[in-house]
Chains A and B, each alone.
Chain A
Amino acid sequence: MKFKCPECDGDIETKEVIEGEIISCGDCGAELEVAKNNKGEFVLKTAESEGEDWGE
């Protein structure tokens, strides 16, 4: 699948993805979350960054 990085506009190519999955941009290193837009298509959005309460 082909995406554009929402941070740096770089090209990102991935295998099959699922909603909620995190991928990183090979160009700028941004962590991106796979989401679906209102047409049901996969899109990438900037992922949340680590919070103080993250973990197990």
Chain B
Amino acid sequence: MPPSISLLYDRIRVEEKELINAAQKRGVDFKAVDAKELHLTITDPGKDRELFGEVALERCVSHFRGLHITAILENMGICVINSHKVASICGNKLLCSMSLAKAGIPTPKTIVAFTKEEAMTAVEEIGYPAVIKPVFGSWGRLIAPLKDRETTQAILEDREEMGNPLYQIYYIQEMVKRPPRDIRTVVVGDLIAASIFRYSAPDDWRTNIARGGHAESFPVSGELREMILKAAEVVGGGVLGVDAMETENGFVIHEVNSTVEFKGAMSASEVDIPGKIIEYALGLAKR
């Protein structure tokens, strides 16, 4: 029996389309499962098990949907890429920064506070300009530069009014002086699949491809390469997007993403990233 792989999705982006193609090309026993059409009996984990094969690629665009499905699938004994532990850490900027710092990986200075008053103290301690980020979320959503006391006050007041209590976990980070680009590396298992420079769009300071940034191939080597592989390892490993920045004092790693979007990296590097991910999943299935 060939190993069976499933792909959990809630939206088919370029990445999911390419993963489906890569699996079909290899003749893998493969099934794409729409997470929006699932209901799973968590008190009887054997019931829905055969739907998902031996290895599941969790690719939901909704982080919390994917995270909770991962917990259920792992409880059924299915190997999920990425694991619940990895998705929990990478889905929360606070947990991710702590993991990086604890492992001695250079990462931007970050202070967390739980009221707007203490957040203001944290900003003044870090110094202007600083950055405020929600602990969850992607694509640069609600990430704001804090340039002076007045704008900081306004932004903190806005956050206080937001309904979701996670917005009141004030994650304040130093604004790293960097060129208008960062480095996105796609790590698959213990190997680097591809790495690129991501340049911010002309009308934005954030480098997210989702914000209109563009990509250029940049093969990483030496110390940076080691840092990236270590960052992937300390969050628990798997298929990951590790983001680094160039500073005056060397490289820093600011983020590791668990449901990595690799459209930009794939076209700029011309590496068959989806093929590598499917091969990695097949390797885990054979264990």
A contacts, CB < 8 Å to B: 18-22, 33, 47-48, 51-56
B contacts, CB < 8 Å to A: 9-12, 16-17, 20, 32, 34, 36, 61-65, 91, 136-139, 141, 164, 210, 241, 257-261
Known: A53-B136, A55-B139, A56-B257. A20 touches B63 (CB 8 A): no
Q: Establish whether residues A54 and B17, one from each chain, have CB atoms under 8 Å apart when the complex forms.
A: no
Taking CB atoms, residues of chain A closer than 8 Å to B91 are 53
Taking CB atoms, residues of chain B closer than 8 Å to A52 are 136-137, 141, 164
Q: Establish whether residues B258 and A19, one from each chain, have CB atoms under 8 Å apart when the complex forms.
A: no
Q: Establish whether residues A54 and B12, one from each chain, have CB atoms under 8 Å apart when the complex forms.
A: no
Name which residue of chain B comes closest to A54, CB basis: B61
For A47, A51, A55, which residue has the most chain B Cβ atoms within 10 angstroms?
A55
Q: Give 6 nearest A-B pairs by CB, closest first.
A: A55-B138, A20-B12, A56-B257, A53-B63, A21-B12, A55-B139
Q: Which one, B32, B64, B210, B260, contacts A53 given CB within 8 A?
A: B64
Q: Establish whether residues B138 and A19, one from each chain, have CB atoms under 8 Å apart when the complex forms.
A: no
Taking CB atoms, residues of chain B closer than 8 Å to A55 are 61, 63, 137-139, 141, 210, 259, 261
Which secondary structure characterizes the binding site on chain A? loop
Q: Establish whether residues B137 and A22, one from each chain, have CB atoms under 8 Å apart when the complex forms.
A: no
Q: In the complex the two chains form, what is the Cα distance from A48 to B37 in whole Å?
A: 13
Name which residue of chain A comes closest to B20, CB basis: A18
Q: In the complex the two chains form, what is the Cα distance from A21 to B64 in whole Å?
A: 21
Taking CB atoms, residues of chain B closer than 8 Å to A18 are 12, 17, 20
Known: A53-B63, A54-B63. A19 touches B34 (CB 8 A): yes
Known: A47-B11, A48-B10. A20 touches B16 (CB 8 A): yes
Name which residue of chain B comes closest to A17, CB basis: B12
B152 CB to nearest A CB, Å:
22
Q: Establish whether residues A56 and B16, one from each chain, have CB atoms under 8 Å apart when the complex forms.
A: no
Known: A47-B11, A52-B141, A56-B241. A19 touches B61 (CB 8 A): no
Taking CB atoms, residues of chain A closer than 8 Å to B260 are 56
B84 CB to nearest A CB, Å:
16
- Beyond the given A20-B32, A53-B65, could you list 10 further A-B residue pairs with CB under 8 A, ordered by the A residue number? A18-B12, A20-B9, A20-B11, A48-B11, A53-B64, A53-B137, A54-B137, A55-B61, A56-B258, A56-B260
B187 CB to nearest A CB, Å:
13
Taking CB atoms, residues of chain B closer than 8 Å to A53 are 62-65, 91, 136-137
Taking CB atoms, residues of chain A closer than 8 Å to B139 are 54-56
Q: Establish whether residues A33 and B138, one from each chain, have CB atoms under 8 Å apart when the complex forms.
A: no
